[in-house]
Amino acid sequence: MKIEQYAAIDIGSNAVRILISNVISSKKEPPKFMKSSIVRVPIRLGEDSFTVGEISEKNKKRVVKAMKAFKHIMKISNVKAYMACATSALREANNAEEVVQLVKKNTGIHIQIIDGKREAEIISTTNIFESINKNKTFLFIDVGGGSTEFSILVKGERIISKSFKVGTVRMINKMVSDKIWFEIQNWIEQNTQEHSKIALLGSGGNINKLFKIAGIKEGRPLSYIKLNTLYKELNKLTYEERIVQWELNPDRSDVIIPATQIYLKALQWSGASEIYVPKIGLADGMIKVLYANGKKK
pLDDT, average across residues 247-266: 97
User: Residue 116's pLDDT band (boundaries 50, 70, 90)?
Assistant: confident
Over residues 90-109, the pLDDT tens digits come to 999 999 999 999 999 999 99
168 is in which domain, residue-wise?
Answer: 128-279
Give the end of a domain, one of 117, 146, 167. 117
User: Do 96 and 132 share a structural domain?
Assistant: no
Q: What is the largest CA-CA distance in the chain?
A: 54
- E strands, the chain, are 2-11, 16-25, 32-41, 79-86, 112-113, 137-143, 148-154, 157-164, 199-203, 222-223, 274-276
Query: Which pLDDT value is given to residue 164?
Result: 94
Query: Which pLDDT value is given to residue 125?
Result: 75
Helix (H) or strand (E) holding 58: helix 57-76
Over residues 229-240, the pLDDT tens digits come to 999 999 999 999
Packing angle of the helix pair 256-270, 224-235 (nearest 10 deg): 150
Residue 221 has pLDDT above 60, yes or no: yes
User: Residue 122's pLDDT band (boundaries 50, 70, 90)?
Assistant: confident
pLDDT, average across residues 181-210: 94
User: Do 158 and 55 share a structural domain?
Assistant: no
pLDDT, average across residues 113-138: 78
Report percent pLDDT > 90 for the chain.
79
Query: Which pLDDT value is given to residue 158?
Result: 84
User: Residue 41's pLDDT band (boundaries 50, 70, 90)?
Assistant: very high
Q: Tell me how far apart the alpha carbons of residues 271 and 268 are, in angstroms, rounded to a whole number.
A: 5
Query: Which pLDDT value is given to residue 278?
Result: 86
Q: Per the domain annotation, does 293 fall within a domain?
A: no
pLDDT, average across residues 52-73: 98
Q: Per the domain annotation, does 287 fall within a domain?
A: no
Query: Which pLDDT value is given to residue 277?
Result: 93
User: Residue 295's pLDDT band (boundaries 50, 70, 90)?
Assistant: low
Q: Tell me how far apart the alpha carbons of residues 28 and 153 are, in angstroms, rounded to a whole number.
A: 30
Number of domains in the chain: 2
Q: Per the domain annotation, does 201 fall within a domain?
A: yes
User: Do 153 and 273 share a structural domain?
Assistant: yes
Residue 297 has pLDDT above 90, yes or no: no
User: Do 43 and 71 share a structural domain?
Assistant: yes
User: Do 107 and 132 share a structural domain?
Assistant: no
Q: Per the domain annotation, does 113 fall within a domain?
A: yes
Going from the C-alpha of 10 to that of each of 14, 75, 97, 135, 194, the distances in angstroms are 11, 18, 17, 30, 35
Whether the CA torsion 207, 212, 213, 215 is positive or negative: it is positive
User: Residue 127's pLDDT band (boundaries 50, 70, 90)?
Assistant: low
Higher pLDDT, 20 or 156: 20
User: Do 170 and 57 share a structural domain?
Assistant: no
pLDDT, average across residues 145-153: 92
User: Do 99 and 134 share a structural domain?
Assistant: no
User: Do 89 and 133 share a structural domain?
Assistant: no
Residue 195 has pLDDT above 60, yes or no: yes
CATH number at residue 175: 3.30.420.150
Query: Which pLDDT value is given to residue 29?
Result: 86
Query: Which pLDDT value is given to residue 1?
Result: 87
User: Do 92 and 132 share a structural domain?
Assistant: no
User: Do 188 and 99 share a structural domain?
Assistant: no
pLDDT, average across residues 136-154: 92
